[in-house]
Structure formats: C-alpha cells, structure tokens
Amino acid sequence: MHHFTHHLITPPRLAAEGNGFAFVGQFRVLIHLDPESDCTFFQYRQYIKGNCVLQHGSFASSHHSRANWAAVGLTFNGNSSFRVPGGLTANYTEDGHVFNGVTSRFGYRSNVSLNALGVEDRYLPSQSTGRTYQLLDTCGMRGTSRVVGLRITYNLFYEGRIIDTRLTGNQTVLSRHWVVRADDIIG
C-alpha cells in the first residue's frame, strides 16, 4: 500500500518584493511507496487548474484595511500572472517549475533531483530507485509593480497522482486533491 499526504506549510501571504509583490505560500507532498512493490515503476504527477480575479480599488483613509476599501471599476482576469507551465487555466494541466525559461515537470524519475531555491522535487535515497518522494512547492503569484488598492483573489486546485509507468497511459493508482485559496489587498 502506498502512503500519500499533502499539507499546506505556509498559507499564502501578501508581501512587498522589491518594487513588486509576492502573494505566495508553500505546501509539501510526501509519498512512501509500497515496500513490497518495485518502486522504480511508480512516479508522481501534479496537475493544477484555477482562477485569479484582480480588481482595482481605493482606501477611505490612510489606514489600509478591507473594512475601508472600495472597488473601483470592473474585475479582470489575473491568470497570466501565475508562472505555471502553460499558464493557469480552468482545466487541469501538468504542473512543474520554470527556471530561466526551462520547464521541468514534478515527479519524473528522469529529472535531476532538486532541493534548492524553495523547491524540492526528489526521490530518496536515490532518484532512480527511491521509495520516498518529497515535493516542496510554492503556490501563488508575483507581480512586478505594487499597485496600492489592488485586490487579488485566487483559487488553485491541485491533483496529485501516483502513476504506474508499466500500465498503458501511465495509469493512476492513487490520487489526492487539495485547494489553496487566497484573498488580500495591496496596502
């Protein structure tokens, strides 16, 4: 029997980042593959879908809080602000990370073991034969300008799967679903 858990380590928080902002959190996935099976055939895959709504607004006083914020204008789609391979969409797409324009999908045994820059994506004790898979993923968005009064609301839906690569179409043998929701205003 495979053991598969996921949990939010840090809920999304809005913070200044240079002239821009980061509205991110982190979650961990931990998988222990069945010790009675040949674990080399099992791999992790992660899928994401979601939406992001942005809305400009203003504060009624110098004390910036949701209570004295008022919307100005219509809402608009912020999905393009997410660095999800292929973009954040309404349909599940395979997740991964992008560094310097290069996309690497989570959970592939053929990938180089990664444990740096706030991302962990590796099998232990070795990438090719490890029975334990660990993922540390950053969820959320970053912006290049900090617009005071901008309200950001997002809902990220994740599906994690353990697949068996021996089966036609890399059949899913176990899956888990979770959601990360965030709503805040740049003050």
Q: Report domain extents, the chain.
A: 3-185
Condensed to tens digits (0 to 9), the pLDDT of residues 109-156 reads 999 999 987 789 999 999 999 999 999 999 999 999 999 999 999 999
pTM over 0.85: yes
d(Cα 85, Cα 76) in Å, to the nearest integer? 21
d(Cα 162, Cα 175) in Å, to the nearest integer? 6
pLDDT of residue 121: 96
- DSSP assignment, residue 80? G
- Mean residue pLDDT of the chain comes to 94
pLDDT of residue 103: 86
d(Cα 171, Cα 165) in Å, to the nearest integer? 7
Bridge-based pairing of strands 114-116 and 119-124 is antiparallel
d(Cα 28, Cα 8) in Å, to the nearest integer? 6
Condensed to tens digits (0 to 9), the pLDDT of residues 42-79 reads 999 999 999 999 999 999 999 899 999 999 989 999 99
